[in-house]
Amino acid sequence: MVENIPSLDEMILSATELFRNTYKDEPNIIVQAPGRVNLIGEHTDYNDGFVLPMALPLRTVIVGKPICGLEASMVSIASEAEDGKTLHTFNISKEALKPGSPKWANYVKGVLANYKGGPFPAFQAAIVNSVPIGGGLSSSASLEVATYMFLDAISKEKIKVSKVEKALACQKAEHDFAGMPCGIMDQFISLLAEENNALLIDCRDMTYSSVPFDDPSMVILITNSNVKHSLSGSEYPTRRRQCKEAATLLGKNSLRECTLDDVKNLSALGASEDHVKRARHGVSEIIRTEQAARLFAERKYEEVGKLMVESHNSLRDDYDVSCPELNRLVELAMEVEGVMGARMTGGGFGGCTVTMVKSSTVDKVIENIRKNYPLKPTFYICTPSQGASLIKAFV
């Protein structure tokens, strides 16, 4: 069975209901921001490389209302996620905005602290989310970006800020308030995605181009392994540091400027075996991603699929961020005819795989995984969705 993805209208209804029940009032602002799946280009964003994500029909919806009155400084947020309903209230003065508990509220607080659009009033809000938490599909970025969109709707001065700058502000929120030194991919795609298109993002200069993906004969299947290994948080900064150190040893700013021949010289320059492996993944993945985007546009899905599998193997063997569950899901997907490619997606150590498969055979893939994967996986069939949007504002 495939997960039923709630429609945007259903999510707006639940969020509005939650708002009414919590505050006995009606919201007058509605915003949404999607999660993402990365087709290829993993652990390349912080190496100034390319990524090729698409937005998902899984998203965060925020409804709310500004609180009038000059002295109002308390924000209340009701949230309904996988882990139940909570109401969190905090002060929005700059001095009071600090990371704390609950953890999910840190993403909101971080965005409030890093908002670039000018002063905004206190507010009441309700949040609902359909992106699985901790599944590697960017539930946190979708919350950050939805928060940014909400502040845009209530801000007083409406200072013009580009979407890329907004993405950077949300990334900083995650660095400062969640302690996660993430790259720019997740926030970028959540803000800039277009329906029926993946996005090739050049994380060095923040330019991007749409890569059409609207072929009805092909679908993207996301399989959530439903495991999350404890290494997921701690290993990320280590990988990031190792890549930077390898580039520095080669006299370069980032792995984007290095070639595979450079990587071969690393050992002679005194690099550890781990550094060589990390650099080999980073450099080869950047090359694969640019190639994949070109092949995608030409609808050469079999060739894209091969690159996806190479990407997975490189993440497994050189980058050491996969795990037995993800490897098994990729193997099981690849056993089925009609599958172009499959790989782990996101930071790794659990979370999801992404499979590109002919629409006519996607059921067989699901069946093969269900029969042979020892845990209980969750499936989503997705097409590229639109980026964050303001749905309604009557302030």
- Annotated catalytic residues are 186
Contact call for residue 48 and ligand GLA (CB under 6 A): no
At 42 the three-state DSSP class reads coil
Q: Which two tokens stand for residue 178?
A: 């969640």
386 φ, ψ (degrees, to nearest 5):
-75, 160
Q: Which is nearer to ligand GLA, 15 or 329 (CB)?
A: 329
Closest CB 320 distance from ligand GLA, rounded Å: 13
In angstroms, give the least distance from the CB of 190 to ligand GLA: 11
CB of 185 to ligand GLA, least distance (A): 5
Q: What are phi and psi of 203, to 5 degrees?
A: -75, -5
Token pair for residue 234? 């701690």
Say which DSSP state 3 is in.
P
Report, in Å, the least distance between residue 290 CB and ligand GLA: 15
Buried b / exposed e over 281-304, threshold 16 CB at 10 Å, is: bbbbbbebbbbbbebbbeeebebb
CA dist., res. 250 & res. 64, Å (int): 51
* Among residues 12, 27, 45, 314, the one that binds ligand GLA under rule CB under 6 A: 45
Among positions 19-38, residues that touch ligand GLA (CB under 6 A) are: 38
Among 11, 15, 40, 42, the residue binding ligand GLA under the rule CB under 6 A is: 42
- Asked if residue 282 binds ligand GLA (CB under 6 A), the reply is no
Q: What x-and-dash track marks residues 302-341 binding ligand GLA by CB under 6 A?
A: ----------------------------------------
Please tell me whether residue 194 adopts helix, strand or coil conformation: coil
State the DSSP string of 106-155.
Answer: HHHHHHHHH--S-----EEEEEEE-SPTTSSS-HHHHHHHHHHHHHHHH-
Binding mask 168-197 for ligand GLA (x = CB under 6 A): --------------xx-xx-----------
Q: Which residues contribute to the site for ligand GLA (CB under 6 A)? A: 38, 42-43, 45-46, 182-183, 185-186, 346-347
